[in-house]
Amino acid sequence: MECAVYDTYVTRKDGEVMHFDVVVEANTAHEKAIEYGKKYLASVGQEGQKMTQEECQFCHVQEAPPLIKRDIESTGYYIQKMEGCS
């Protein structure tokens, strides 16, 4: 499965920055990737934080490893946590 990776930087409620990737199937609309990112933010107590195309930018397309592919097939997306994530 080819997947699209959206590099995302969101300011947390405490002012620190969260850096994570939203990974979706390659043909998924950018707006849907943003929606999935907001869903993730809500799941970690960061609902309501600004997340637009400015914070969530397309980065590249790659082949999805098995773990990521499974998550995309079951939920529509995968979050790759990097910095400042809960």
Domain residue spans of the chain: 2-83
Q: What does DSSP assign to residue 15?
A: S
Kindly state the DSSP code that residue 80 receives in the 8-state scheme.
E
Q: Give CA–CA dist 51/56, Å, rounded.
A: 7
Superfamily of domain 2-83: NE1680-like (3.10.510.10)
pLDDT tens by residue, 47-68: 999 999 999 999 999 999 999 9
The runs of H, that is alpha helices, within 14-75 are: 30-43, 66-75
Give the model confidence (pLDDT) of 12-41 as tens digits. Answer: 999 999 999 999 999 999 999 999 999 999
Check if the beta carbon of residue 37 is closer than 8 Å to that of residue 23: no
CB-CB neighbours of 10 under 10 Å: 22
What is the model's pTM? 0.95
